[in-house]
Structure 1
């Protein structure tokens, strides 16, 4: 079974996922990075040139591919991957979801601190900024909550502390 990391951008999915995969002796897959590698474009470029629906279709294909892999992986998903019913079904049938949750203020601070964010990540609403984080979370949090087998609040935790909490939970499944 795969271990999927879900949550809003800036929640730590990629950072935590790399360490978690190493600790679990699994491969690590970042679906956004995979899409960028396949297309040769950043997520922002895909959104700008082809629109969000085209990106979401690419995302569905990548998640379907990963869900059908036999070798268990730790998978960091794009924040909006959970919006697709097909993706939600693939996640539920092929693994467990761990929701990395953080407050809107903490997420916004992390996004602002990421020097790559403005060039790689598209705005998801017309407002952008903190208002965007709040608006998008209002839609996504109920879905994250429904999908998650485990939620980790990351606001005041280091990536290593988040990894340890997930590992402790994962051991309890055996």
Structure 2
């Protein structure tokens, strides 16, 4: 093989790796719900360079990747490697799934979850947790559902703010994502300890912290409250929060990227309802219909 050909293949492999690395950085940022300018601020890496990196044209040092991983609270090794090789029985299961039609995967996942559940219904008891992106209606519907079913209502973000002594925005600005995730985990643990019967409204990014989301799935019946990206954005702005549009001309594209990055996690919920184009009364009726069978099985 000629020296030129070897170099061309090496360049091609590097370009492929950098493209995948950029995609992982973009995905990690989206799962955390961070605009690129926020990641630039928290990591100390310029927004222009982050754009190059996410586009696959950056060639960052380990030091730069470490800054980015710390800012998004994401394992550096996973950011660099991107994939983990499964071995043994797990590897065999992964191999079996490689050839399965995508349409069959949700049913297979449900079967595996039923197999693993064991006493899961007892663990979940009469706890309902609402997940989904901000603006879907989790807080409004959660309060109404709790009143309808005569259950307590807990909003995790309010517990976080109480325990921290400041707003979510202040936590993120002053202490960063890692601190917020620690407070969020403690808030969930507290809610689970105190309530066997409860409706919990979660923050949109709880699904991006695997351990915390796993705890929620194990101990609560979960419902994904979803809406179109346009309704998410309009509802947040209607609430008086103009931050989604502030200094960010790509707000809608960021929102769509967040939804895409989190969708597979949101789909792990026990049920889902779509509030797009629905009145509050219509959405509440759909939510009540979704959760009543779950609570009946828990009795």
Is TM more than 0.5 here? yes
RMSD of equivalent CA atoms: 1.9
Within 2, Cα distance between the matches of 1:128 and 1:68? 41
Within 2, Cα distance between the matches of 1:95 and 1:158? 26
* TM-aligned CA deviation for residue 9 of structure 1: 0.5
Within 2, Cα distance between the matches of 1:37 and 1:128? 32
- 1:122-153: CA deviation from partner (whole Å, max 9, x where unpaired): x9xx876212211111111110002x111100
* TM-aligned CA deviation for residue 95 of structure 1: 1.4
Question: Structure 1 segments of 4 or more deviating over 3 A?
Answer: none
Within 1, Cα distance between the matches of 2:242 and 2:204? 14
Matched residue of 1:3: which SS? strand
Within 1, Cα distance between the matches of 2:281 and 2:141? 7
The worse-fitting range, judged by mean Cα deviation, of 60-69 and 29-38 is: 60-69
Alignment check: 8 A CA contact 1:67 1:90 kept? no
Aligned to 1:165: 286
Structure with more of its chain in helix, by fraction: 2
Count of equivalent residues: 168
**Higher Cα radius of gyration:** 2
Matched residue of 1:99: which SS? strand
Matched residue of 2:172: which SS? helix
* TM-aligned CA deviation for residue 105 of structure 1: 1.2
CA gap 1:127/1:138 in 2 versus in 1, 3 angstroms: farther
Within 2, Cα distance between the matches of 1:99 and 1:72? 19
Matched residue of 1:80: which SS? helix
- TM-score, normalised via structure 1 length: 0.89
- 1:7-61: CA deviation from partner (whole Å, max 9, x where unpaired): 0000100010011000010100000111112222110110000011110111011
**What stretches of structure 2 of length at least 5 have no aligned partner?**
1-125
**1:72 pairs with 2:197:** yes
Structure with more of its chain in strand, by fraction: 1
Name which of 120, 130, 134 aligns with 2:256: 134
Matched residue of 1:68: which SS? helix
Q: Which has the higher contact order (CA 8 A, sep 6+)?
A: 1
Name which of 275, 286, 293 aligns with 1:154: 275
Name which of 186, 205, 213 aligns with 1:88: 213
The worse-fitting range, judged by mean Cα deviation, of 156-165 and 24-33 is: 156-165
Within 1, Cα distance between the matches of 2:192 and 2:131? 14
- What does 1:1-174 align with in structure 2 at a 5 Å threshold? 1-116=126-241, 118=243, 129-146=251-268, 148-173=269-294, 174=296
Alignment check: 8 A CA contact 2:128 2:291 kept? no
Matched residue of 2:194: which SS? coil
Within 2, Cα distance between the matches of 1:34 and 1:77? 11
Alignment check: 8 A CA contact 1:68 1:94 kept? no
CA gap 1:137/1:19 in 2 versus in 1, 3 angstroms: same
